Amino acid sequence: MNATISEPIAPILSSPCELLIVGAGPAGLAAALAAAPSGARITLLDDNPAPGGQIWRAGPAVRLPPQALRLREALARCANVRVLCGTRVVGLVGERELLLEDPERGWVQRYDKLILCTGARELLLPFPGWTLPGVTGAGALQALIKSGLPVAGERIVIAGSGPLLLAVAATARKCGAQVIRVAEQASLSSLAAFTAQLARWPGKAIQALTLVEKSYRTSSNVVSAQGNGRVESVRLQQGAKVIDIACDRIACGFGLIPNTQLGQLLGCLLASASGGAQGLAFDAFQATSVPDVYAAGECTGFGGSERALTQGRIAGHAAVGNIAAAQRCWPERARWEAFANQLHRRFALAESLKQIPRPDTLICRCEDVPHNILTQCSGWIDAKLHSRCGMGACQGRVCGAAAQFLYGWEAPVPRSPLSPARIATLASPLNSD
């Protein structure tokens, strides 16, 4: 049979925009709407099928909140804002140029100013059995359910840390699942202290009341998952005792890690973020250490949609020179930064979680690298030289954060391409002149 070679897709150099916003979650939406009245040519892109990010992900099993619908409708009325969904950043090309790709093509996008609203990803801490089918991240399960995953009648255990666990439990229950346990690693005293502070944020207090979960337990964490071919039960450390619970799914997440890779490629500095992890450093106007590059939302630290919206508005106003409008948002941002700091303080991860992996527990699941191999390594370079840890499909996004918590290693340095891409896309910059 004769093989045929198709012609490569012609590379495209997109018309420049004055403001490029990467990420269409709450921060990106707020930034675009704040900047739009200036009349600037704005491009807003996101790798999801529709604006909203992870928190306002649309799908057959979800009804978007009124606020999300209002922001979408307002965005649709902005003639100077071009929205590109299903589009991701592959890497850098030149000064103020990014290589983008959608399902059809790749192209180079030039910009004058850039706002990074790249969000965050879940922190997954490995435990024996975490690679069994039926074990996911907590946020990942919520996203799957919103996208149509049937869970009616399934017995689900949700574990880890933070208020997201309760939100996931509520989503699962609405779709008919049996949430038989929500295991929070933080102590009862920490939870009580956090709850006592919620009067400062009445909206959050009301939200907490709507998410009250009878199966909720504090000082509780996953020890292992068991099953033949897929998960069948989970073992939990609950205070001083160990219990086994039969289940069909386990959703386990230990907070969020800011997505800083694109910012780091651009040269942006990191700083200790509200929420604990390293996020993109920013000043009073959400500007990063790189000229004309701003950052907003969870790429600067985790703190909820209200913090992201406020930061996005400040970045959008500042990027188009509306300094007075940006300054008017400062008190609101300070309010939600205080909330983020409470989250970090009260849901800080216990040192005992570092003892969960067994010697044969896989830490890098892409390359099948176990815990006992990595404990002999001094850091990322040593681990890559001897085990290929972090060199698989996720490029260290999962095992990198886990190793940082477990071993104290610095996270892997990001490199282009940031994600798998077609050869034609990678060849685009070579022919764009």
Task: Name the residue among 210, 21, 197, 5 with its Cα closest to residue 100.
Answer: 21
Between CA 164 and CA 201 the distance in angstroms is: 17
Q: What per-residue confidence (pLDDT) applies to 427?
A: 84
CATH architecture of 12-121+257-344: 3-Layer(bba) Sandwich (3.50)
Q: What is the pLDDT of residues 162-185, one digit of tens each?
A: 989 999 999 999 999 999 999 999
Q: Are 363 and 335 contacting, i.e. CB atoms less than 8 angstroms apart?
A: no
Residue 10 reports pLDDT greater than 50: no
Q: What per-residue confidence (pLDDT) applies to 2?
A: 38
Q: What per-residue confidence (pLDDT) applies to 206?
A: 66
Residue 63 reports pLDDT greater than 90: no
Question: Residue 134: helix, strand or coil by DSSP?
Answer: coil
Indicate if 127-253 has the same CATH topology as 12-121+257-344. Answer: yes
Token code pair at residue 193: 């202290």
Q: Which percentage of the chain shows pLDDT scores above 70?
A: 93
Residue 215 reports pLDDT greater than 70: yes
Query: For the chain, how many helices (H) and strands (E)?
Result: 14, 22
- Of 10-14, 49-53, 308-312, 389-393, least confident by mean pLDDT is 10-14
Q: Are 84 and 43 contacting, i.e. CB atoms less than 8 angstroms apart?
A: yes
CATH architecture of 127-253: 3-Layer(bba) Sandwich (3.50)
Averaged confidence pLDDT in the chain: 89
Q: Are 106 and 428 contacting, i.e. CB atoms less than 8 angstroms apart?
A: yes
Which of the four pLDDT bands, split at 50, 70 and 90, describes residue 271?
A: very high
Q: What is the pLDDT of residues 220-249, one digit of tens each?
A: 999 999 999 999 999 999 989 999 999 999
Reported as half-sphere exposure (CB side, CA atoms, 13 A), residue 376 has a value of 9
Between CA 200 and CA 187 the distance in angstroms is: 22
- Of 20-24, 59-63, 192-196, least confident by mean pLDDT is 59-63
Q: Are 405 and 349 contacting, i.e. CB atoms less than 8 angstroms apart?
A: yes
* Amino acid at position 166, single letter: L
Strand order in the sheet with 220-226: 220-226, 233-238, 241-246
- Rounded to the nearest 10 degrees, how much is the dihedral formed by the CA atoms of 432, 48, 23, 50? 110
Domain ranges within the chain, ordered by starting residue? 12-121+257-344, 127-253, 351-407
Q: Are 43 and 319 contacting, i.e. CB atoms less than 8 angstroms apart?
A: no
Q: What per-residue confidence (pLDDT) applies to 430?
A: 62
Token code pair at residue 219: 């000082």
Between CA 258 and CA 307 the distance in angstroms is: 14
Q: Is the pTM of this model over 0.75?
A: yes
